[in-house]
Structure 1
Amino acid sequence: MGFRKIVLLALIVVFVSLPVVTYAADLKEDLTAEQIYEKRMDLYKKYEAVTNIPWQYLAAVDTYERGIRRALKDRPKEEGFISIYYTEDEWAGNFNPNKQDTHPLSIQMFGGVGMDGDGDGLAERTNDEDVLYTLAHSLEQFGTNEEDFRIALWEKYKRDQSVRIIHGHALVYEKFDRLDLNEHAFPMPLNYNYSYKNTWGDRRGWGGRRIHEGTDIFAGYNVPIRATAYGRVEIKGWNKYGGWRIGIRDLDNIYHYYAHLSGFEKGIEEGSIVAPGDVIGYCGSSGYGKPGTQGKFPPHLHYGMYRDNGRIEWSFDPYPSLKQWERKAYQERRKKR
């Protein structure tokens, strides 16, 4: 064998052994939010066509996983457009000695889930198309209707709360038929008198020692209370602490809690899909007792926010978000004048 052939073969070996370079992360940095949504929708629609899984289901799982990545410190930020996460063991197989395996046949032999979605002969855990196709294929094994979807989610997450949240995301996407649903609204109209300060973490005594898990916004009776985000009403009714209250889950997996209402807006029920600014109820002073108890404190909205990380849910301070939404609402109102 000549020297030139030896050098050529050596170069080929080096080239083949190099890891496949993905450009999605660099590409994403150069795109606008609108372009990123467009790219994600293209991917969802492609694998809807390939597997018959509705794009809303794929988007719902991806959105849930994106929220989980934000909440868990031990999970890396997504590099591409898709946030669905598989561990090395899940992807390559528990007993696969090569956790970086990208060969579909050996992955299948070791019981891994990883599949080749884009037809390049590799099943890469960091490839958007491979990951999305792997998810869509796993959902497809259970069927394509709503109940099949819920069963498939249970098999994947083994957690009722995760199933409820993802199913709710799918219903939101189904109603609005688009992905750019990240707007927010201040919970009260600006033309009403109201006041608030940061009361998160303050001590509360009624019903036992506890901290205040929210911000109190004081206003008159029956001031309209509005949804602050796109989402689904998870709960509506009486709570001895919060009185007449509503809980809404948004697309960041955050639960928005509205308490001490005087009543609910007509048509708002558990399962209702809402948009920012939709009236959901009215300011009151209900709570701290049996159903119907009123007037034990001045009328106000107790507004709380709770983040779900796929394992547990916890309260965090809503005051910074409220100030941001209020400031933006004033800016938009000035633009209209």
Structure 2
Amino acid sequence: MKNQEHKNRKKLAYKKRNTSPIKILLIPVGILLVYFIVYGGFIGYNEFSKEGMEEIPSQYIPIYKAAEEKYGVPWNLLAAHHRVETKFSTMDPLVSPVGAEGHMQFMPCTFVGWSHPSCEGLGEGAIPEKEKTDPSVIEEYGGYGVDGNGDGIADPFQLEDAIFSAANYLSNNGAADGEVEKAVFAYNHSDKYVKDVLYYADKYKEEPEKRKTPM
């Protein structure tokens, strides 16, 4: 009987210790700290609007941020291009009717280089598949394709390569120097395209009252 009473007292003392007001208050503080570390401090999610957090697939965000770090092109601009081009890679197949390829819809001649002997017209070309992803061939012909994940190939159908290549293109056309509209127009010569991309770029970073819906 005494042993049972002793056990009961120990259980009660344990419950009191672990349900103290201080410990209860520490739980939400801990949650907020984790939230800040993951979403605010280390990864930089504090730069995202509510819509950006809801619409952009979280697995793509570190790639946009890494490309921004390397090429100086804003992460939200890369996210906007990704959204407009393939709805965050949900377009199936990732080839347009005119021959643009991959997650960020590069024409083969833009990816490999317009000085390739087969490049003319809209830029679909007749580039051998092996040459399309060879960084040395791309360097030779002055293309914008890059090996974003370090696997030795530059593939528009590989997500890191596609996003880094888009950042490379936009950077070379002025986006890293603040000429964002000019760079977006170079990517696709359409005023509506520019308007749509800038809308999403703004939407993913700015507050709702500062946005305008696309026409």
The TM-score normalised by the length of structure 1 is: 0.38
How much does 1:145 deviate?
A: 5.0
Equivalent residue number for residue 41 of structure 2 = none
Given the alignment of the two structures, is residue 39 of structure 1 paired with residue 59 of structure 2, yes or no?
Answer: yes
1:157 Cα deviation after fit: 0.7
Measured in 1, the distance between the counterparts of 2:92 and 2:149 equals: 30
Match runs of 1:319-334 below 5 Å: none
Output one character per residue of 1:94-114: Cα deviation in whole Å (capped at 9) or x when no partner.
536424422112122234321
The count of corresponding residues between Structure 1 and Structure 2 is: 146
- 1:144 matched to which residue of 2? 176
Q: 1:99 to 1:72 in 2, by over 3 A?
A: closer
Q: Secondary structure at the match of 1:144?
A: helix
Equivalent in 33, 58, 61 of residue 78 of structure 2: 58
Q: Counterparts of 1:72-151 in structure 2 under 5 Å? A: 75=96, 83-93=103-113, 94-95=116-117, 97-101=127-131, 102-141=133-172, 142-144=174-176, 146=178, 148-151=179-182
Aligned-pair distance for 1:165?
1.1
AA aligned opposite 2:96:
R
Structure with the higher fraction of residues in strand conformation? 1
For normalisation by structure 2, the TM-score amounts to 0.56
Q: Counterparts in 2 of 1:147-186, with a 5 A limit?
A: 148-175=179-206
* Within-5 A mapping of 1:1-337: 37-67=57-87, 70=91, 75=96, 83-93=103-113, 94-95=116-117, 97-101=127-131, 102-141=133-172, 142-144=174-176, 146=178, 148-175=179-206, 232-233=211-212, 248-249=213-214
Give CA deviations for 1:298-319 in whole Å, capped at 9, x if unaligned: xxxxxxxxxxxxxxxxxxxxxx
Unaligned runs of 5+ in 2: 1-52, 119-126
Aligned residue identity for 1:95:
P
Change (3 A) 1:140 1:73: closer
Bigger share in helix: 2
Amino acid of the structure 2 residue aligned with 1:154: F
Which amino acid is 2:103 matched to? S
Confirm or deny: 8 A CA contact 1:63 1:83 kept in the other structure: no
Deviation at 1:41, TM superposition (A): 0.9
Instruction: Please give the alpha-carbon distance, in whole angstroms, between the structure 1 residues aligned to 2:189 and 2:200.
Output: 18
Question: 1: distance between equivalents of 2:151 and 2:194?
Answer: 33
Query: 1:144, 1:110 → 2: CA distance?
Result: 23
**Could you say if the C-alpha distance between residues 87 and 231 of structure 1 is closer, same or farther in structure 2, counting changes exceeding 3 Å?**
farther
If asked which structure has higher relative contact order (CA below 8 Å, sep 6+), I would say: 2
Following superposition, the deviation at residue 60 of structure 1 comes to 0.8
How far 1:70 moved relative to its partner? 5.0
- Percent identity for Structure 1 against Structure 2: 24
Unpaired segments ≥5 residues, structure 1: 1-32, 77-81, 178-229, 234-247, 250-254, 256-337
What RMSD, in angstroms, separates the aligned Cα atoms of the two structures? 3.5
Change (3 A) 1:98 1:137: same
Structure 2 CA distance for partners of 1:88 and 1:144, relative to 1, 3 Å: closer
Letter in 1 for 2:117: F
Is residue 94–residue 103 contact of structure 2 (8 Å, CA) maintained in 1? Answer: no
Structure 1: which amino acid aligns with 2:165?
T
- Please state how far the C-alpha of 1:160 moved relative to its aligned partner: 1.2
Q: Distance in 2 between the 1:73 and 1:137 partners?
A: 20
